[in-house]
Structure 1
């Protein structure tokens, strides 16, 4: 699912809201998550998961075409860890799946 599909789905589920308002809300949520990560904060959405950042150290890489060594700078990358409730919904227990 891409962001535009998410906006459409949320607009369908909330017919009292205009699609442009739903898009503003989705953008505001994603922007706030991004801003929090930029500040070095951790974002936890209970039942969904946790967004955090991980720092990667500088290293020596390799150009796959030439085999030449290349210096790769350190960087900060986003990291997502799914929450317990999400994992359980994606991987239902065998007994619960048969009952449903």
Structure 2
């Protein structure tokens, strides 16, 4: 499911104006991104939690040429699924 499909499902299920549903979905994801950018953690009970992991710089190697390169420090998003989501996916 992509963002457009999510907007369509929300607008049909709850009889919402498609533009309102689109604004809601966009604002929802923007709020998550902003919280993570501010160094916070986002937890959606029953679904999972989002956090940011900070990676220091390190010396890597270009696999094609074998030349060593310096990899800059970076932040990457990390998702940890909640117990309810795992149980839902693994039910029989």
Same fold (TM over 0.5): yes
| Moved beyond 2 Å, runs of 4+ | none
TM-score (norm 2): 0.94
> 1:7 is matched with which residue?
7
Q: State the secondary structure of the residue aligned to 2:87.
A: helix
d(CA) in 2 for partners of 1:63, 1:8: 43
How large is the Cα RMSD of the aligned pairs?
Answer: 0.9
Alignment of 1:7-86 (within 5 A): 7-15=7-15, 17-86=16-85
Gaps of 5+ in 1: none
Cα deviation for residue 65 of structure 1 reads: 1.9
- Higher alpha-carbon Rg: 1
Cα distance, 1:61 vs. partner?
1.3
Structure 1, residues 61-85: CA drift from partner, whole Å, max 9, x if none? 1112211111001111111001000
Unaligned 5+ runs, structure 2: none
Normalising by structure 1, report the TM-score: 0.87
